């Protein structure tokens, strides 16, 4: 059987054939991500330090919070670190979370009632540290415009959601190892300082 093509048909056939061959050969070699794992790679269970795949940096290991303050409607504040610095400041970092099954509007009272702080919106500006031994109360620091040095714009949290927060205070003296952390609408809790 003899197949006859005109000039146009022959060119179209040649182009289609070359595209088909090129298309078939593109996936002939396996991709690097499909390589089988070997026994020499450490498992995640035995590896002491996890590594972020995107950056190659060590991943943060979950730590036990220093304290968990309970608020209304399932809102909790877990303080994860309280670090003094050489400049005389104490920076507190943590997570504000909603453990309830529905969205929660965060209470405006958390910002406190000072006029300068209130005008900057919802924040953790009402937080205080009480040093019972030194008989002192420490307030969240403010900048020159009266903005609290803390997370601002806190309106609501969805069910099961959380957000990272921070607060900065004047550092209590090095001899103070324990303070009472107080935030309006939350139960007071004891915070140990290193």
SS3 assignment for 74-86: HEEEEEEEEEECC
Strand partners, 59: none
pLDDT at 15: 45
pLDDT of 55 strictly over 90: no
pLDDT tens-digit readout, 111-122: 998 888 888 899
pLDDT tens-digit readout, 58-75: 555 567 999 999 999 999
**If residue 16 lies in a helix (H) or strand (E), which one and from where to where?**
helix 7-25
pLDDT at 44: 38
Q: Do the Cβ atoms of 134 and 170 come closer than 8 Å?
A: no
Q: Do the Cβ atoms of 63 and 84 come closer than 8 Å?
A: no
Q: Comparing 155 with 53, which gets the higher pLDDT?
A: 155
**Residue 43: exposure state from Cβ atoms within 10 A (0-12, 13-18, ≥19):** exposed
């Amino acid at each position: 059987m003899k197949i006859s093509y005109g000039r146009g048909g022959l060119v179209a056939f040649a182009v289609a054939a070359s595209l088909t061959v090129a298309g078939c050969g593109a996936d002939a070699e396996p991709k690097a991500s499909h390589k089988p794992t070997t026994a020499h790679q450490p498992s995640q269970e035995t590896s002491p330090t996890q590594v972020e795949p995107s950056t190659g940096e060590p991943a943060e290991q979950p730590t036990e919070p220093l304290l968990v303050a309970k608020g209304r409607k399932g809102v909790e504040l877990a303080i994860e670190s309280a670090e003094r610095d050489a400049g005389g400041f104490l920076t507190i970092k943590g997570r504000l979370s909603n453990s309830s099954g529905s969205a929660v509007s965060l209470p405006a009272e958390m910002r406190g009632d000072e006029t300068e702080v209130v005008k900057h919106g919802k924040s953790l500006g009402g937080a205080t540290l009480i040093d019972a031994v030194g008989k002192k109360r420490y307030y969240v620091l403010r900048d020159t415009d009266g903005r609290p040095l803390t997370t601002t714009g806190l309106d609501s949290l969805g069910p099961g959601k959380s957000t990272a927060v921070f607060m900065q205070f004047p550092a209590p003296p090095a001899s103070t190892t324990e303070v009472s952390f107080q935030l309006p609408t939350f139960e007071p809790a004891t915070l140990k300082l290193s």
